[in-house]
């Protein structure tokens, strides 16, 4: 009887562990967002950022939010970090998640760890339900 209980216990542990592992691997995006669409949009934005064309980067931001910053402000804040980082090598990790804003509005969030020749940067992008960029940050 003890052996059967041990086997059942081990089987349950394996089952629970498998569920935890597989559930951690799936993006936790809010309802209505498609992970492939968010990931593709994120990769497009990274390509534009790596051109260092701050007018183009600014144009990525949702139109009604563009007045909150200028291409010159983006350049002032980002150019020193991007210039010192060197050439872009690859995206090392892309994590998708969700964020709740005011009035229960949900956003898709992409955290992107990028490797450059001399440094690494982490970008965070926020998308509204129309997949428009409503927030972008670089560390």
pLDDT at 17: 38
Could you please report the per-residue DSSP string of the chain?
A: -HHHHHHHHHHHHHHHHHHHHHHHTS--PPTT--HHHHHHHHHHHHHHHTTT-HHHHHHTB-GGGGGG--HHHHHHHHHHHHHHH-SEEEEEEEEEEEEE-GGG-EEEEEEEEEEESS-EEEEEEEE-TT--EEEEEE-
7: in domain: no
18: in domain: no
16: in domain: no
21: in domain: no
11: in domain: no
Q: What is the pLDDT of residues 75-87, one digit of tens each?
A: 999 999 999 999 9
129: in domain: yes
Enclosing domain of residue 46: 27-138
Residues of the chain with pLDDT under 70: 1-27
**CA pair distance 20, 30, nearest whole angstrom:** 20
For the chain, the domain total comes to: 1
pLDDT at 32: 87
95: in domain: yes
Residue 33 belongs to domain with CATH number: 3.10.450.590
Q: What is the pLDDT of residues 106-118, one digit of tens each?
A: 899 999 999 999 9
19: in domain: no
């Amino acid at each position: 009887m003890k052996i059967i209980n041990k086997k059942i216990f081990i089987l349950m542990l394996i089952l629970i562990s498998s569920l935890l592992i597989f559930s951690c691997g799936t993006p936790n995006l809010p309802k209505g967002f498609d992970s492939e669409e968010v990931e593709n949009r994120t990769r497009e934005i990274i390509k534009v950022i790596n051109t260092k064309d701050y007018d183009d980067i600014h144009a990525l931001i949702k139109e009604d939010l563009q007045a909150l910053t200028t291409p010159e402000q983006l350049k002032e804040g980002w150019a020193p970090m991007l210039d010192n980082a060197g050439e872009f090598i690859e995206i090392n990790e892309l994590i998708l998640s969700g964020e709740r804003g005011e009035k229960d509005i949900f956003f898709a969030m992409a955290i992107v760890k990028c490797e450059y020749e001399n440094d690494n940067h982490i970008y965070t992008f926020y998308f509204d339900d129309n997949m428009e960029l409503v927030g972008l940050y670089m560390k």
